[in-house]
Amino acid sequence: MSQFATGVTVITTVDDQGQPHAMTANAFTSVCLEPPLVLVCVAHNTHTYHFLEQAGRFGVNILRQEQEALGAYFARRPEDRRGGVEYSYNMTEEGVPFLGKCMVSLACQVIGSHVYGDHTIYLGEVTKALQNDSGAPLLFFRSRWYRPADE
């Protein structure tokens, strides 16, 4: 699977106290445009899985190339997140946290889920979309950050 280049997203939801929680994910895709549906796969051994099960809603934040440090930061378990990575959240009216300065952020309501092995696939209906200034997307390929222009 490392031979397939993917974009990098940070999936956001809220924890048991209603505070923002996030994790990096590249298992994300668009399902259809009408209605706008996306899916994301979340491992059962993550905090995100528990919080997403409870909240029933999530955000998808598509990272730009300059946000590599943010992607790496949220790829770690919460207890291992240290360092000077700057980020901020904005909450939507629906209570979905958006990360600031991402290329695109989507608020999604879970409308279906299915367990496969150690992951759950969540199908989300997009209820809000925010597009910021465009730029080059952050990509992941062969188990590392990837910049096609550098090849």
pLDDT (0 to 100) of residue 149: 65
Confidence of residue 151 (pLDDT cuts 50, 70, 90): low
- Give per-residue pLDDT as tens, 129-140: 999 877 889 999
Task: Kindly state the average pLDDT of the residues 70-80.
Answer: 93
Please determine, for residue 62, whether its predicted confidence score (pLDDT) is greater than 90: yes
Give the start-end residues of each E strand in the chain: 6-7, 9-14, 20-25, 28-32, 37-43, 57-62, 89-91, 97-99, 104-116, 119-131, 139-141, 144-146
Look at residue 33 in the predicted model and tell me its pLDDT.
95
Of 74-83, 118-127, 137-146, which has the strongest mean pLDDT? Answer: 118-127
